[in-house]
Amino acid sequence: MSIAAALGHAAARLATTSDTARLDAELLMAHALGTDRADMLLRQRDLTVPDGFAALVERRMSGEPVAYIIGSRDFWTLTLHVTPAVLIPRPDSETLIEAAVDHFRARPPQTILDLGTGSGALLLAALDQWRDARGLGIDVSPDALTIAAGNAARLGMMGRAAFLPGDWGEGLAEPFDLILVNPPYIAIQAQLPRDVRDHEPHGALFAGTDGLDDYRRIAPQLSPLLAAGGMAAIEIGFDQRDPVSALLRRAGMNVAVRQDLAGHDRCLIATPG
């Protein structure tokens, strides 16, 4: 079977379980071939379907996310290593970086804090955006910190990025120009797609009966950690603008909102009041 035929067959099967069936098939094929997707597509007439491709398709058919199968995910300008120990970075989260780019057009941030760093996606994207900045990633999960540090090392950023265990901003004292926060914000009773529910870490997803538990803890911590002229970019669920904004305002902060590419409220921009 040719590469093109195998991709068509796999995409047809995956269409029953994935909204991105063709892309999934292409990423899995490239991984099985040990190359990247662009190279595979350019050279597909000269390539042979590898023996391992069918097994990868079966894993995806069972609901396992592509990012965990191939071990990587693109985010902002980077390709990051991911495992089931960390949440898969989403394009929606790039809204936080976009908000920071707008805020710091006149003066780049020098210090960056990433609360709940996971794979390190937000911190490393920001450090790639501002090459003179230094950053700190905090996470409660030792496995996540190992993955984040590994990503920083592969990207040549360990001289500018540090990772420490911690409980959000508790115990931190120094101010930061930019604070990035992507906490768990899903209510425990919410219905999720099978690949998310069965494979991604629940500790990075769920936050109590209303999805606000972690925001309640984080909001009072932010203002003391923000330098003058700084900002915090906080990811929210599409329906959480009002309650999270209220928490931030009660903590003495000014709040604005930024929408993602789908037009959903996605990022709250908090600045010192």
> Which helix (DSSP H) or strand (DSSP E) does residue 170 occupy?
none
CATH number of the domain where residue 7 is located? 1.10.8
Model pLDDT, residue 74 = 96
Whether residues 185 and 231 share a domain: the answer is yes
In a domain, 201, yes or no: yes
Domain end call among 32, 62, 92: 62
Whether residues 146 and 15 share a domain: the answer is no
Model pLDDT, residue 1 = 86
Q: Report the number of distinct structural domains present in the chain.
A: 2
In this structure, the strands spanning 134-139 and 161-165 are parallel
d(CA 67, CA 247): 34
113: its two tokens: 């804090």
Whether residues 266 and 133 share a domain: the answer is yes
Cα–Cα distances in Å, from 189 out to 10, 121, 192, 206, 235? 33, 27, 9, 9, 20
Whether residues 179 and 116 share a domain: the answer is yes
Domain end call among 19, 37, 62: 62
Model pLDDT, residue 226 = 97
10-residue averages of pLDDT along the chain (273 residues): 96 96 98 96 96 97 97 97 98 98 97 98 98 98 98 97 97 96 97 93 96 98 96 97 98 97 97 92
Model pLDDT, residue 63 = 95
Model pLDDT, residue 220 = 97
Model pLDDT, residue 41 = 96
CATH number of the domain where residue 218 is located? 3.40.50.150
Helix, strand, coil % over all residues of the chain, rounded to 5: 40, 20, 35
**26: three-class secondary structure by DSSP:** helix
- Taking a C-beta distance cutoff of 8 angstroms, is the pair 123, 112 a contact? yes
Domain range holding 168? 75-272
Sign of the torsion formed by the C-alpha atoms of 89, 222, 106 and 133: negative
d(CA 252, CA 246): 10
Count CA within 13 A, CB hemisphere, residue 238.
Answer: 6
- Measured CA angle at 117 (ends 207, 197), to 5 deg: 45
The set of residues, in sequence order, having a beta carbon less than 8 Å from that of 81 and lying 6+ positions away, is: 71, 72, 119, 147, 150, 151, 154
Closest CA to 72 of 114, 113, 37: 37
Q: Which residue has the tokens 């995910």?
A: 73
In a domain, 69, yes or no: no
